[in-house]
Structure 1
Amino acid sequence: MTATATNRDDLCNNLALRKAARYLGATYDKALASAGLRATQFSILQKLSAHGEMTITRLADMIAMDRTTLASNLKPLAREGLVTVEPSAVDRRARIVTITPDGLSRIKAALPLWQAVQAQFEERFGAGEAAELRASLDAVLQTGFEPWAE
């Protein structure tokens, strides 16, 4: 391997972000496993519990995920009765996602597990650094790329 290739690997924003995301995602997945949730499922349920029912498009925008991937992530949640996905009464093309009482119970059971891993990460990484990381990652979402634009 040449020095140029090594330097390119070290400078790749996408690789660095994906490595960290896989590492931290697996950590949160492991912490949430006893509640029967993966980190992405927890995030979906958390958004629905905090904001109420919404269209798949709005939920996808809130969690920065394309609609097709979100729809795939909703299927196991719907099978388990944690969410419902129904056509909108206003626009039959839109699908409305709603958290169910079982979904609220699951997120309530998972919340202490999430809080524990969140606290462990902030203890090891630093609370200030974690806040700066979240701000930097949020800023990435404001760079003007349109990855899911049709």
Structure 2
Amino acid sequence: MTPAPANTAPPCNNLALRKAARYLGATYDKALAAVGLRSTQFSILQVLNTHGETTITSLAESIAMDRTTLASNLKPLAREGLVTVEPAPTDRRARIAAITADGKTRLAEAAPLWRDVQARFETAFGVDEAAALRASLNAVLDTGFEPWAE
């Protein structure tokens, strides 16, 4: 292996990942803007629709996001009536998030836009390559780091 020239920075996994995430995220954001959602909001609605009501902690874990950032992302969804965030009946300190009927409607409106971007990406990048990319990115989550550990 040839070492990097002295005047260039070594390859950075974080930078490469963030650049790709911003690039692809902006593409999804642009498509979903037609229904007033950002890609992160779409993902939250999708998880809540699939898994039903869940604690903020569980939701944050399922989308690999710290609880504070998740709370910030839930606020506009709650203001628009797309989700509810209520104290848990068994533990008032815990909060439960759930998708509303309006949230399900908005998700249904957004789904074809999401599917279109998904299909365009897979056509440009390759179906097998996209599947391998998702598998690799999921494997990153099993590397043992604890970025949100207290």
Structure 2-normalised TM-score?
0.96
Quote how far apart the aligned CAs of 1:7 are.
4.0
The aligned counterpart of 2:116 is 116
The residue matched to 1:143 in structure 2 has which SS?
A: coil
Q: Percent identity?
A: 73
**1:139-150 pair list within 5 angstroms:** 139-150=139-150
Paired AA for residue 62 in structure 2: M
**1:45-56 pair list within 5 angstroms:** 45-56=45-56
Taking only aligned residues, the RMSD between alpha carbons, in angstroms, comes to 1.1
Paired AA for residue 144 in structure 2: G
**Structure 1 position 69 matched with structure 2 position 69:** yes
The aligned counterpart of 1:3 is 5
The aligned counterpart of 1:105 is 105
Paired AA for residue 6 in structure 2: T
Alignment gaps of 5+ in structure 1: none
Deviations along 1:92-126, whole A, 9 cap, x unmatched? 11000010000000000000000000000000000
Quote how far apart the aligned CAs of 1:4 are.
2.8
In 2: Cα distance, 1:131 partner to 1:14 partner? 20
**Structure 1 position 59 matched with structure 2 position 31:** no
In 1: Cα distance, 2:56 partner to 2:102 partner? 20
Decide which structure has greater helix share. 1
The residue matched to 2:60 in structure 1 has which SS?
A: helix
In 2: Cα distance, 1:91 partner to 1:121 partner? 43
In 1: Cα distance, 2:109 partner to 2:120 partner? 18
Paired AA for residue 6 in structure 1: T
* Aligned length in residues: 147
The aligned counterpart of 2:134 is 134
Deviations along 1:46-92, whole A, 9 cap, x unmatched? 00001100000000000000000000000000000000000000111
The residue matched to 1:98 in structure 2 has which SS?
A: strand
**1:11-30 pair list within 5 angstroms:** 11-30=11-30
Structure 1-normalised TM-score?
0.96
Paired AA for residue 23 in structure 1: Y
In 2: Cα distance, 1:140 partner to 1:40 partner? 19
Quote how far apart the aligned CAs of 1:6 are.
1.7
In 2: Cα distance, 1:126 partner to 1:53 partner? 35
Quote how far apart the aligned CAs of 1:145 are.
0.1
Alignment gaps of 5+ in structure 2: none
